Amino acid sequence: MQTYLITGGAGFIGSHLCAALLKQGNRVINIDNFDPFYDPLIKHNNIRHLADNQNHILRKIDLRDREKLNEVFQSEPIDMVVHLAGMAGVRPSIENPILYEEVNIKGTMNILECMKTFGIKKLIFASSSSVYGNRPEPADFTEDMALNKMISPYAITKKAGEDFCYLYHKLYDLTVLALRFFTVYGPGQRPDLAIHKFVQLIDNHLPIPLYGDGSSMRDYSYIGDIINGITQAANYLHQHKEVFEVINLSGNRSISLKNLLHIIEETLQQKAIVNQLPMQPGDVEATRASIAKAQRLLHYEPQTTIEEGIRQFVAWYKNNKNNHA
């Protein structure tokens, strides 16, 4: 049994990860401040089924509160930290860049400082495909690409998080995997993200906002595949010392917004009412990952097609409609 400290464990990805690690018989210390970026009730619902699990310790703490973080690190034996908490979302970061800087950069530094102080060596950090920015060349994104094309404060905070992880690896021998997630979806998906928003609006016969002409491309990742990738990353860290790696995790297939909408319409058996709007600042034209490094180091192989993943999401949505904000 390992003890994992998960930050953001009440969120979309975090709640799935807590459940998976607990199922494997581990202990999980879950730090989350139930931030109101979207309805905190959804986050309480995400982890309701873990309430009776003795191995799940929930601590309502803000990443920016160094003293409270110190108390947790001091009082609990921790084998590995999985740092998922943060302000997510590209467009809102343009509205409120200072908040993103405080939570995503300073919050990450607080976690790294606690790890340094209490001698915790293993860390998984949630980074993002947005660090690749807008790239005119059609090539797949590889981890060694120069990152000089970022177009949102969110992307910059994630890159800064990676850089601080690298610094603490160099200075204090932390072993770190920074995982760049590509648009994650599936049961429990954040309500601000396109698939969730589209399904909810179409189901309610309301117009959907479609930014751009529908040709923008995304490499969507199913939550179950991402959770496998994170647990494989944890296994890698258990077996390796003093490494730092940045690794893409995606569904390994890029599709257009138009095509995504078509799959959602087919699954819901209902046509969307489309309200076409200009591209939003901060949104990149296309994301497409190379997952060769994840395949090589983690034996990562995404299993879920977008069609199957959307079916899973819609089934979850229909069962949970009344809990949606």
Rounded CA separation 119/303 (Å): 37
Task: Out of 39, 62, 79, 285, point to the residue binding ligand NAD (CB under 6 A).
Answer: 62
Smallest CA-to-CA distance from 249 within 181, 298, 325 is with 181
Task: Give the three-class secondary structure for 319.
Answer: helix
8 binds ligand NAD (CB under 6 A): yes
Q: How many residues bind ligand NAD (CB under 6 A)?
A: 28
Binding ligand NAD (rule: CB under 6 A), the pick from 22, 26, 27, 86 is 86
Query: HSE (CB half, 13 Å, CA atoms) of 204?
Result: 13
Cβ-based nearer residue to ligand NAD, 1 or 251 = 251
Q: Which residue has the tokens 């993002």?
A: 128
Other CB atoms within 10 A of residue 97 CB:
16
Answer yes or no whether residue 10 interacts with ligand NAD by CB under 6 A: yes
Cβ 180 vs Cβ 140: under 8 Å: no
Nearer to ligand NAD, 25 or 100 (CB): 100
CA–CA dist 207, 8 (Å, integer): 32
Residue 154 Cβ, how far from ligand NAD at the closest point, in Å?
Answer: 7
**Which residue of 5, 6, 13, 21 would you call a contact of ligand NAD, by CB under 6 A?**
13
Which residue of the chain is nearest ligand NAD when measured via CB? Answer: 11
Binding string, 100-119, against ligand NAD, x = CB under 6 A? ---x---x------------
Least gap, CB of 212 to ligand NAD (angstroms): 19
**Would residue 168 show up in a list of annotated catalytic residues for this protein?**
no
Under 8 Å between Cβ of 216 and 256: yes
Cβ atoms of residues 68 and 95 within 8 Å = no
Any contact of residue 85 with ligand NAD (CB under 6 A)? Answer: yes
Catalytic residue among 154, 220, 300, 317: 154
CB 160, min distance to ligand NAD, A: 13
| Sequence-distant (≥ 6) Cβ neighbours of residue 79 within 8 angstroms | 2, 3, 4, 120, 122
**What number of residues does the chain have?**
325
> Which of 245, 244, 239, 230 has its CA nearest to residue 300?
230
Binding to ligand NAD by residue 14, rule CB under 6 A?
yes
| Active-site annotation, residues | 154
Note the residues at the interface with ligand NAD (CB under 6 A).
8, 10-14, 32-35, 37, 43, 62-64, 84-88, 103, 107, 126, 128, 181, 183-184, 190
